[in-house]
Structure 1
Amino acid sequence: MTSMTGLPVSQRVMNLAGFLAQTARRLPDHLALAWGERRWTWREFERRSTALAASLAARGIGKGDRVLVHARNGNEILEAMFATFRLGAVLVPTNVRLVSEEVAYLAEASGATAFLCHSVFPEHAAAVAAALPGLRLLASIGEAGFGTATLEALIEAGAGRACPIADAEYDDPCWFFFTSGTTGRPKAAVLTHGQMAFVITNHLCDLMPGTTEQDASLVVAPLSHGAGIHFLTQVARGAASILLPGERFDAAEAWRLVEAHRISNMFTVPTILKMLVEHPAVDAHDHASLRYVIYAGAPMYREDQKFALRKLGKVIVQYFGLGEVTGNITVLPPALHGEEDGPAARIGSCGFARTGIEIQIQDEEGREVAPGTQGEIGVAGPAVFAGYYNNPEANAKSFRHGWFRTGDLGHMDEQGFLYITGRASDMYISGGSNVYPREVEELILQYPGIAEVAVVGVPDRHWGEVGVAVIVPRPGESVAEEALLGWLDGRMARYKMPRRVFAWDALPRSGYGKITKKMVREEMEARGLLPLA
C-alpha cells in the first residue's frame, strides 16, 4: 500500500509499554505507585513488569495472545498490564465481582492463552482451566493451591532477562474491554495501540491539562476498567498513583490519603463521588490540592452535582463515553460546573465534543437531526474502537454510515453541548407516549429526603407500560409514597408519573458499580412486587 506521495504507508506506532519505558528512563527514582506501606519507583515498576513479560514469553505467550487477568486492585494487575503490552499480547481484565462461570465465559470468548488469577478465587481458576484445557499458563497472584507458578515467582524468574518491547502497528489490539453486558452476554471491544495512544493524549488534553510528575492520583475505582485507562495517563506524565489499602471502598481513608499525598486528580463514578462528598471526613482533611475530580460512567444528578461543588469547589470534571470509545466523547470541564442554576451552568449537559471527536444526533434512519431534537448519539473519531472481537453481528448493528451508534439518546444545542436523555433500552412507552426515566428521576431527586432513585417501566394491561420509582431515603429520613406522588402531580405530564413508589435501603449495582434498570427490575421481581396489583 502506498500513499499519495508514492511512499509506503507506515502504520507503526509506539507500543503502549513505551510510555512506561520513557517515564522510567526520565524519572527513575520518582514515586510511581504506593499501596499501603509499600512503594515502587518508576525504575522498579518497569523492572518488575519487564521481568514478568520475560517469564510469560518463556512460556510461549507472544504477540496477539490474550492474557486474562482476574485480580483485585494492587500492583500485580498493573504489572500484568504492562508485561502484556510489552509482548504485544492483549490484556483481558475482568471485574472481580464476576462469578466463576462469567469469567470462564470471558476466557472462552476472548480465546485466552494465559490466566493470572488472584489466589482468593480458586473456583474461578478451576472454571477457566476446565473451559480452556489448552491454556498455556495458569498462575496465581499470591500463594494458592492452583496454577504452576505465582506471579511473584514469575517476576523473580524473569529478573534480568532481556525482553524488548514488541513492535506495534496502529490497529494491533492491546486490550479487550468487555462491556458490562446489561443486555445479553458481554462483548469484547477491541482497543488498539494506536487508538489508545490517542485516548491517553486526549485524556491529558481535555480532562487533566497540565498534569506532570508533580501530580498524584488516587485510585478509587477498579483498575480492570476505567481506572486502568486513567492509570495509563499518569504513567505517560510520570504522576504517582496511590491505591486504597483495603479491599472495600473507605471514604475516610480516601480523604486521609488525599491530604497525605497531596492528591491532585482522581477518576471516579457519580456513586463514589457522592459517597466521598457526603462523608464527614471531607471536612476533616485538607483537599486543597485537588485540581481534577473526574467522574464518568453515568450522568450525575443535578442535586448531587451541586453538593459536590459546595464541598470541593470547581474541581469536578465530567466526561461521557463508552468502553467502545474509551470515554472519549464529551467533556464538561470545571469552569462549566456551576453551583447556581442558570444558563451558564449548562444544567443537564455532559459537555461538548472531545478534541478530535465528532458527535451527531441521528434519527432512526441515521440522518442528522436539528439542534434540540432528540435522537440517537453517534460518534466518530480516532478514539472509536476497532470493533467487537469475533462478533460480526454486533459490529453490523453498532456501526452505520461510518458512525458508532452509542445506543444513548440525547439532543445537542446550538453551541454543541450534548444532553443525554437516557438509554434507548431504558425508554418505555406509556399510553403511546415515550417516557425517558432520566427526566423523571431528576425531578424526584428534588424532593426532600431522597438520596437515590431509579425509575423503570413495567407492563400494564391498560397503558402498555407504566413507571415505577424505587427510592433510597437519606439516613434518618422517611418518604411517604402518597406525599411524593402528590408533590409530583402538576410538575410533570400525567403519563410520566410513576404508578408506584417503593422505598429500599439500597439500589442494586452491577459489578461495575452502576445502577442498571435491568437489575432494579430483577430485584423487584425477586421481592414479589411485579406484576403490579
Structure 2
Amino acid sequence: MSHSSGGELKGGLAPQSVRVSNLAHFVTRASRRHGERTALACGKARWTWREFDSRISAAAAALHDVYGIGKGDRVLVQSHNCNQMFEAMFACFRLGAVYVPTNYRQTPEEVAFLCEASGARGMICHANFPGHAAACLASKAPPDFVIAIGEAEFGPSYDRLVGEHLGRDIANVPVERDDPCWFFFTSGTTGRPKAAVLTHGQMAFVVTNHLCDLMPGTGPADVSLVVAPLSHGAGVHQLVQVAAGATTVLLPSERFDPAEVWDLVASWKVTNMFTVPTIVKRLVEHPSARTADTSSLRYVIYAGAPMYRADQKRALQTLGPCLVQYFGLGEVTGNITVLPAGEHHAEDGDDARIGTCGFERTGIEIAIQNEEGDDLPLGETGEICVTGPAVFAGYYQNPDANAKAFRNGWFRTGDLGHLDEGGYLFITGRASDMYISGGSNIYPREIEEKILAHPKVSEAAVFGIPDPDWGEVGIAVLVPMGGESIETAEIAEFLAPKLSRYKLPKRFVVLDEMPKSAYGKITKKLVRQTLEERGLLGADAGA
C-alpha cells in the first residue's frame, strides 16, 4: 500500500519516482562532521562516529558479500539492546534491506511467526536466544542463514564477520520515498502481530518532526540514554539522535536498575531519554531518585500509553519540568500528538488540561469520526483518525487489515477520544476496551484515573465482564503501593462520590503484580487471562 499519487501531476509535469536520502546517510553525515566524538557507549566500551560508521559498513559488506542480502530483503533481528543490534539497523538501511526487529521478550514461537510473516531471508540473533534461532530455522519459512551476536552454535559470530570486513567502504544504496526500511510489528494486543511497513521517506519526516516537536535544539552536545527496547519506540528515538549527531548510551546489562540509570544520567550528563509510563513510574518511585542529579535532563519523553495523572504529578515533582508526552502508534511511528514540557503542570489548575495527550504534531491532522466516517463535533467521543506524511505505507501482505485500517484517506487508530476547543486530544481508551452496561457506554480510562487518585493504589485496570442483568459490568483490578494493603470496600467507598453510579465497578480484585505485555504495557487481554487462570472471574470470586 502506498500513498504515492498516480497519473499526470498538476502543471503538466510527468509523474516520476521520488529519490530520497537513505536513512543510513545520517551516520555518514555524523561521521564526516563529528568523526572522533563518541557516537555510542555501553559500559566501558566507546565507539566514535568514524568507528560506528566503519562497523556498519563492515556488517553491510558481510551481509551482502557472504549472504547476498540486497535491496528489499528482510533481516530479522532478535536481541536485547547492544551495539551490534544498533549497528544492524543501519547496515540494513545502507543496503536498502529491511530491518525487522523483534521484541526480545517474545517467545520462540512468537518470533518464528514474525519470521514467517516478514519473509525474512536472514536472521541476526543474540547468543542468549538459541531457542528463538531454532524455532525460526524450524518454521514453515526458515531464514537462509542465522548470524550470532556473541558465540553460539547456531551461526557464525557477528563480530568476527565485522572484523573480517572492516575497511570496506559501502555506499548507501539509492532509495525512493516509498522503499521499505523497517517492518515495525504491532504489539498484537487484539490478535496476531502485523508488520507495519515503514519507508525511507516516511521515516525522514518522522525524524525531522521528532526534532521539531519533541526535542527542539537537540544536537551534537546532547547525550541520550536508552532505557527501553531498541526494537520499537526507543529505536526510532535513537535514529533521531543519530540524525542530530547526539551520543547514545546503552545500559551495560539487560537488567533494568533505576539506581544505575540515575548514576548514568549524572555521569554522562544525559539530556534526553525515551521511556514508557511504567518506566517513568519505576524510576521516580525508586529510593535512588531522591538523591539523583537530574539537572542535565531536558527531555524525558514518554509514550506507548497515557500516564495516569497521579504518576504524572509524582514525576513532575521529582524531575521538574522535563516531561514530554507523545501519542503515536507504530503505524504512525510515534507521530500524532505532543504535549511539550511547558504544558505539563504539577498543579490541577485551569491551564492543566488534565488527561490530554497534547495537540497535533506538525504536518499531522486528526479527525474524530463515527462508524460511518463522519467527523464528530468538538467534545464528542469517537474514533481517532489521522493523516499526514508520518502514516505508514500499510501492513505487509495483509490486504484485509489494510482495508480495515484506512478509510477515505484517514488511518483509523482504533483508539477512542475527543478534541477540545483548543485542539487538544483526550484519549478515552481502545475501542475494544469500551464496554456497555445497561445500555450505557463505559470508558475504563476515566474510572482508572479516579482509582489511581487513591494514595494506596499503584496500578489499576478496569474492563467489562458478562452480567445476566446488565449485559456487562465493570471489574477493577488493583495493585497496591509498596508496603500498603488495600481493602476493596475502601476503594468502592472512595469512588462512590466521584463517579456516576452506573460507572462504578461492581467487583474489585487485588493482585500483587499487574501482568504486562512484552512492551511493558498493561493490556486488558493479559489481565483478563490472568484472572481466568486464577479462577477469579467466577460469579462469586473477588469482592
Normalised to the residue count of structure 2, the TM-score between the two structures is 0.96
Question: Residue 332 of structure 1 aligns with which residue?
Answer: 339
Q: Which of 312, 319, 329 is 2:326 aligned to?
A: 319
Q: Does 1:129 align with 2:129?
A: no
Distance 2:132 2:17 in 1: 42
Could you tell me whether the CA contact under 8 Å between 2:119 and 2:141 is conserved in 1?
no
Q: Does 1:345 align with 2:352?
A: yes
Aligned-partner residue type, residue 28 of structure 2: A
- Residue number among 402, 408, 414 corresponding to 2:415 in the alignment: 408
Corresponding position of 1:363: 370
The 8 Å contact of residues 107 and 132 in structure 1, kept in 2 or not, is answered as no
Q: Which residue does 1:40 correspond to in 2?
A: 47
Match of 2:123 in 1: 115
Distance apart, 1:299 and its partner CA: 0.4
Report matched runs for 1:90-169 at 5 Å.
Answer: 90-131=98-139, 135-147=143-155, 149-169=156-176
Q: Paired residue for 2:305?
A: 298
**Superposition pairs for residues 196-235 of structure 1, below 5 Å?**
196-235=203-242
Moved more, 90-99 or 280-289: 280-289
Per the alignment, residue 390 of structure 1 pairs with 397
Corresponding residue SS for 1:186: coil
- Give, in whole Å, the separation in 1 of the partners of 2:12 and 2:145: 46
The residue number in structure 1 matching 2:243 is: 236
Partner SS for 1:259: helix
What stretches of structure 2 of length at least 5 have no aligned partner?
1-6
Partner of 1:74: 82
- Tell me, yes or no, if structure 1 residue 469 matches structure 2 residue 473: no
Letter in 1 for 2:192: R
SS of equivalent residue, structure 1 residue 131: coil
Larger mean Cα displacement after TM superposition, 212-221 or 160-169 = 160-169
Give 1:9 shift: 3.0
CA drift at 1:382: 0.1
| CA distance, structure 2, for counterparts of residue 419 and residue 278 of structure 1 | 26
Letter in 2 for 1:75: N
The alignment partner of 2:154 has SS state of: coil
Which residue in 2 is equivalent to 1:424?
A: 431
Task: Kindly state the Cα deviation for residue 19 of structure 1 after the two structures are TM-superposed.
Answer: 0.5
Any conservation in 1 of the 2:229–2:235 contact (CA below 8 Å)? yes
Structure 1 residues 61 and 366, CA gap change in structure 2 (3 angstroms): same
Q: Distance in 1 between matches of 2:74 and 2:425?
A: 36
Counterpart for residue 50 of structure 1: 57
Kept in 1, the 8 Å contact 2:103–2:231? The answer is yes
Superimposed CA distance per residue, residues 31-75 of structure 1 (whole angstroms, 9 cap, x where no aligned partner):
111111111111111100110000100111000000000011010
* Helix, strand or coil at the partner of 2:138: helix
Greater displacement, 418-427 / 488-497: 488-497
Q: 1:137, CA displacement in angstroms?
A: 2.0
**Contact 2:116–2:141 (CA under 8 A) maintained in structure 1:** no
8 Å contact kept, 1:264–1:289: yes
CA–CA separation in structure 1 for the residues paired with 2:313 and 2:413: 28
Which shifted more, 62-71 or 461-470? 461-470
Q: CA deviation at 1:5?
A: 5.0
Matches within 5 A, 1:469-508: 469-508=476-515
For 1:136, give the aligned amino acid.
D
Q: How many pairs does the alignment contain?
A: 532
List alignment gaps of at least 5 residues for structure 1: none
- Once residues 342 and 484 of structure 2 are traced to their aligned partners in structure 1, the CA distance between those partners, rounded to angstroms, is 34
Identical positions, percent: 62
Displacement of 1:2: 5.8
Cα drift, residue 270 of structure 1: 0.4
Q: Does 1:26 align with 2:38?
A: no
- Does the CA-based 8 Å contact 1:66-1:90 persist in structure 2? yes
Is contact 1:454-1:469 (8 Å) kept? yes
* Contact kept? 2:115, 2:142, Cα under 8 Å: no
Task: Note the alpha carbon deviations across 1:342-381, whole angstroms, 9 max, x for none.
Answer: 2211111000000000001011111111110111000000
What is residue 279 of structure 1 aligned with on the other side? 286
1:174-232, CA deviations, whole angstroms, 9 ceiling, x for partnerless residues? 00000000111100000000000000000000000000110100100000110000000
Matched residue, 1:452: 459
CA contact (8 A) 2:273 2:300 kept: yes
Q: Secondary structure at the match of 1:498?
A: coil
Query: Does residue 261 of the first structure (1) align with residue 268 of the second (2)?
Result: yes
Q: Distance in 2 between matches of 1:31 and 1:163?
A: 21
Bigger CA drift: 122-131 or 204-213? 122-131
The CA distance in 1 between the partners of 2:530 and 2:412, in whole Å, is 29
8 Å contact kept, 1:459–1:531: no
Aligned to 2:444: 437
Give me the whole-angstrom Cα distance separating, in 1, the residues matched to 2:164 and 2:220.
31
Per-residue deviation, 1:157 = 2.0
What TM-score comes out, normalization by structure 1 length? Answer: 0.98
Amino acid in the other structure paired with 1:444: I
1:520 aligns with 2:498: no
Contact 1:60–1:136 under 8 Å retained in 2: no
Give, in whole Å, the separation in 2 of the partners of 1:255 and 1:161.
39
Deviates more, 1:461-470 or 1:353-362: 461-470
Report the Cα distance in structure 1 between the residues aligned to 2:90 and 2:104, rounded to whole angstroms. Answer: 19
Shift of 1:7: 5.5
Contact kept, 8 Å, 2:101 with 2:183, in 1: the verdict is yes
Deviation at 1:132, TM superposition (A): 5.3
Contact map agreement 2:184 2:196 (CA 8 A) in 1: yes
Which segments of structure 1 move beyond 6 Å, counting only runs of 4 or more?
none
2:255 pairs with one of 218, 234, 248: 248
In structure 2, the residue matched to 1:85 is 93
- Conserved 8 A contact 1:293-1:317: yes
Q: Does 1:377 align with 2:381?
A: no
> 3-state SS of the aligned residue for 1:345?
coil
Partner-residue secondary structure (3-state), 2:514: coil
Moved more, 134-143 or 182-191: 134-143
Deviations along 1:86-107, one digit per CA (max 9) or x if unpaired, are 0000000000111111111000
Pair 192,499 (structure 1): closer, same or farther in 2 beyond 3 Å: same
Give the distance between the partners of 2:412 and 2:60, measured in 1 at CA: 37
Report how far residue 490 of structure 1 moved: 2.7
Q: Is the 8 A contact 1:17 1:86 kept in 2?
A: yes
Deviations 1:471-525 (A, max 9, x none): 1111111110111112212321111111111111110010011000000000000
Question: Deviation per CA, 1:402-455, whole angstroms, max 9, x where unpaired?
Answer: 000000000001110000011000001111111110000000111121111111
For residues 400 and 8 of structure 2, the distance between their equivalents in structure 1, rounded to whole angstroms, comes to 32
8 Å Cα contact 1:93-1:177 kept in structure 2: yes
- Aligned-partner Cα distance in 2 for 1:399–1:117: 34
- Between stretches 454-463 and 515-524, larger displacement belongs to 454-463
Q: Is the 8 A contact 2:58 2:166 kept in 1?
A: yes
Preserved CA contact (<8 Å) 1:13 1:194: yes
